[in-house]
Structure 1
Amino acid sequence: MRRYILGGLATLGAVCAHAQSSITLYGIVDAGVAWTNNTQIAKSAGGLTGASTVSFADGLTAGLAGSRWGFHGVEDLGGGLKTVFTLENGFTVNNGALTQGGAEFGRQAFVGLDSSRLGTLTFGRQYDTLIDSIQRFSAPSWAGWMSSHIGDIDDLGLLYRINNAAKYVTPTLGGIRFSALYSFGGLPGSMGRNQVWSLGMSYESGNFGFGAGYLNARDPNVSFYGNTPNKGLSTANNIGSVGSTTVPESFPTFAGYASANTLEIMGLGGNYTFGGTTISGVLTNTRFDSLGSSSGPNPFDYSGNVNFTNIELDVREHITTTLQTGIAFDYTRRSSLDSDGGAKYMQLDMLADYALSRRTDVYLEAILQRASGRDSLGQSAVATIGGFTPSSTNKQAVVRIGLRQRF
Structure 2
Amino acid sequence: MKKSYFWVGPVVALAAANAHAQSSVTLYGLIDLGINYVNSAQTGRNADGSLNGKSLVSMSDGATRGYGGSRWGLKGSEDLGNGLSAIFTIENGYNIVNGAIAQGGAMFGRQAYVGLSSTKLGTIMFGRQYDTQSDFVVNYSPAIIAGISGSVPGDVDGLGHTRRVNNAIKYLSQNYRGLTFGGLYSLGGKAGDFTGSQIWALGANYAIGDFSAGVGYFNARDPNLSSFGNSPSSGGPATNNLGSLGSLTTAQSNPIYAGYASAHTFEIYSAGASYKFGPATFAASFSHSAFDSLGDLSAGPNPFHYSGTAIFNTATATISYLATPALLIGGAYTYTHGGGAGGNGSATYHQGIFAAQYFLSKRTELYFVGVYQAATGTDSLGQPAVANIELMPPSSTSRQFVGRVGIIQRF
Same fold (TM > 0.5): yes
Report if the CA contact (8 A) 1:62-1:144 is conserved: no
Q: Using structure 1 for the length normalisation, give the TM-score.
A: 0.96
2:4 corresponds to which residue? none
1:289 corresponds to which residue? 292
**How far apart are the structure 1 equivalents of 2:74 and 2:59?**
28
Q: 1:293 is matched by which residue type in structure 2?
A: D
Q: 1:211 is matched by which residue type in structure 2?
A: G
- Report percent identity of matched pairs: 48
Task: Kindly state the Cα deviation for residue 13 of structure 1 after the two structures are TM-superposed.
Answer: 4.3
Report if the CA contact (8 A) 1:61-1:146 is conserved: no
**How far apart are the structure 1 equivalents of 2:358 and 2:12?**
53
1:276 corresponds to which residue? 279
Task: Kindly state the Cα deviation for residue 98 of structure 1 after the two structures are TM-superposed.
Answer: 0.3
Deviation beyond 3 Å, 4+ runs, structure 1 = 11-14
**How far apart are the structure 2 equivalents of 1:140 and 1:210?**
16
1:227 corresponds to which residue? 230
**How far apart are the structure 1 equivalents of 2:239 and 2:36?**
31
Q: 1:31 is matched by which residue type in structure 2?
A: L
CA deviation vs aligned residue, 1:287-320 (integer Å, no higher than 9, x gap) = 0000001210000000000100000001100000
Report if the CA contact (8 A) 2:309-2:342 is conserved: no
Give ranges in structure 2 of 5+ residues lacking alignment.
1-10
Q: 1:351 is matched by which residue type in structure 2?
A: A
1:4 corresponds to which residue? none
1:22 corresponds to which residue? 24
**TM alignment of 1:118-129, pairs within 5 A:** 118-129=121-132
**How far apart are the structure 2 equivalents of 1:381 and 1:206?**
43
The yes-or-no answer on 1:87 pairing with 2:90 is yes
1:5 corresponds to which residue? none
1:381 corresponds to which residue? 385
Report if the CA contact (8 A) 1:61-1:386 is conserved: no
**TM alignment of 1:12-51, pairs within 5 A:** 13=18, 16-17=20-21, 20-44=22-46, 45-51=48-54
Q: 1:391 is matched by which residue type in structure 2?
A: S
2:373 corresponds to which residue? 369
Number of matched pairs = 398
2:258 corresponds to which residue? 255
1:109 corresponds to which residue? 112
**How far apart are the structure 2 equivalents of 1:29 and 1:365?**
17
1:74 corresponds to which residue? 77
**TM alignment of 1:70-219, pairs within 5 A:** 70-219=73-222
Determine helix, strand or coil for the equivalent of 1:61. helix
1:314 to 290, 312, 318: 318
Determine helix, strand or coil for the equivalent of 2:245. coil
**How far apart are the structure 1 equivalents of 2:41 and 2:85?**
49
Q: Using structure 2 for the length normalisation, give the TM-score.
A: 0.95
**How far apart are the structure 1 equivalents of 2:245 and 2:84?**
50
Q: 1:206 is matched by which residue type in structure 2?
A: G
Q: 1:10 is matched by which residue type in structure 2?
A: A
2:340 to 336, 342, 358: 336
Give the alignment's Cα RMSD to 1 decimal.
1.4
CA deviation vs aligned residue, 1:331-371 (integer Å, no higher than 9, x gap) = 00011333333110000010111000111000111100000
2:364 corresponds to which residue? 360
Report if the CA contact (8 A) 2:91-2:111 is conserved: yes
Determine helix, strand or coil for the equivalent of 1:92. coil
Q: 2:187 is matched by which residue type in structure 1?
A: F
**How far apart are the structure 1 equivalents of 2:236 and 2:13?**
53
The yes-or-no answer on 1:10 pairing with 2:13 is yes
When residues 258 and 358 of structure 1 are mapped into structure 2, their CA distance, relative to the original with a 3 A threshold, is: same
Q: 1:332 is matched by which residue type in structure 2?
A: T
Report if the CA contact (8 A) 2:205-2:215 is conserved: yes
Task: Kindly state the Cα deviation for residue 9 of structure 1 after the two structures are TM-superposed.
Answer: 7.8
**How far apart are the structure 2 equivalents of 1:157 and 1:210?**
18
1:3 corresponds to which residue? none
Task: Kindly state the Cα deviation for residue 188 of structure 1 after the two structures are TM-superposed.
Answer: 1.4
When residues 248 and 13 of structure 1 are mapped into structure 2, their CA distance, relative to the original with a 3 A threshold, is: farther
Q: 2:311 is matched by which residue type in structure 1?
A: N
Report if the CA contact (8 A) 2:126-2:167 is conserved: yes
**How far apart are the structure 2 equivalents of 1:218 and 1:209?**
31
Task: Kindly state the Cα deviation for residue 46 of structure 1 after the two structures are TM-superposed.
Answer: 2.4
Q: 1:137 is matched by which residue type in structure 2?
A: Y
1:62 corresponds to which residue? 65
**How far apart are the structure 1 equivalents of 2:137 and 2:95?**
27
2:353 corresponds to which residue? 349
Determine helix, strand or coil for the equivalent of 2:325. coil
